């Protein structure tokens, strides 16, 4: 009998003693299951290579969120040259969600690959950063991001099946041990090293979008409804975070 899939992904934050590193790991089967159910619901299917990259991005950002303070909401957008596509993911530890999508239409072709990060804290101006990335792998993007924006080394590994692990350096970390890590050795850290579990967070694949939440972004069109609708009484609008479509009428806008 097949085991039921859990309702959420449990993300463990673990301190690796004597190595002075933070290990963050999780089995993403629940998040990936809900992601595929979402694609089925909105009648989308991605090419295998793009689908794999988006799943890696969802896992990478979730682990990074867990390594960061609770109150942050973080969004990452990757604008790639080849394939010409934008990958987007955003999440929050406070609201325990991760969501993402990809854009393949009307994508601006950059001269290089870029990863854009925006971090939001309540009551503060958003903090943004941009880094150039050389590959199409979110696992490698994270290493570049930590070197340039976190000012400390970080590495992420796809262990087996849907399990991923992030290892982030802390002050006075064991640099030789850190650099020698592989997916195999990272998967054995808790068996071979002295560790202490610091906290556990729970994440779901969820957007929570609705027409009511999207309408405020269209307020500038209230006085220009004819320009927006043309000869139509309704039009289809798309959630920028998850790709779900909603029918917008003139009455809704008014």
146-199 pLDDT, tens digit per residue, is 999 998 999 999 999 999 999 999 999 999 999 999 999 999 999 999 999 999
Question: What is the pLDDT, as a whole number, of residue 28?
Answer: 98
Strand partners, 238: 245
Residue identified by tokens 């988006």 is 54
Q: How confident is the model at residue 5 (pLDDT cuts 50, 70, 90)?
A: low
In tens, the pLDDT along 220-247 reads 787 777 878 888 888 888 999 999 999 9
Pair 92, 65: CB distance under 8 Å: yes
Helix (H) / strand (E) element for 51: namely: helix 48-67
Structure tokens at 231: 């000869």
Question: What is the pLDDT, as a whole number, of residue 188?
Answer: 97
Q: Has residue 14 got a pLDDT over 90?
A: yes
In tens, the pLDDT along 38-86 reads 999 999 999 999 999 999 999 999 999 999 999 999 999 999 988 899 9
Pair 34, 62: CB distance under 8 Å: no
Domain boundaries, the chain: 9-205, 211-253
Fold (topology level) of 9-205: Hsp33 domain (3.55.30)
């Amino acid at each position: 009998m097949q085991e039921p899939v859990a309702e959420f992904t449990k993300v463990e934050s673990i301190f690796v003693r004597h190595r002075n590193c933070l290990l963050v790991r999780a089995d993403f089967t629940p998040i990936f299951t809900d992601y595929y159910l979402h694609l089925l619901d909105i009648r989308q299917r991605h090419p295998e290579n793009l689908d794999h990259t988006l799943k890696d991005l969802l896992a990478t950002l979730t682990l990074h969120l867990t390594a960061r303070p609770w109150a942050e909401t973080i969004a990452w957008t990757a604008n790639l040259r080849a394939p010409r596509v934008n990958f987007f993911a955003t999440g929050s530890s406070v609201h325990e969600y991760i969501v993402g999508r990809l854009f393949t239409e009307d994508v601006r072709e950059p001269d290089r690959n870029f990863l854009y990060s925006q971090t939001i804290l309540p009551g503060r101006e958003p903090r943004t950063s941009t880094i150039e990335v050389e590959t199409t792998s979110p696992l490698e993007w994270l290493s570049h991001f930590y070197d340039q924006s976190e000012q400390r080394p970080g590495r992420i590994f796809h262990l087996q099946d849907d399990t991923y692990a992030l290892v982030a350096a802390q002050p006075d970390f064991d640099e030789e041990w850190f650099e020698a890590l592989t997916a195999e050795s990272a998967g054995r850290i808790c068996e071979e090293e002295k560790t202490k579990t610091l906290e556990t967070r729970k994440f779901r694949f969820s957007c929570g979008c609705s027409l009511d939440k999207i309408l405020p972004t269209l307020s500038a069109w209230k006085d220009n409804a004819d320009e927006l609708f043309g000869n139509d009484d309704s039009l289809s609008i798309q959630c920028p975070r998850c790709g779900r479509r909603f029918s917008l009428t003139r009455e809704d806008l008014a």
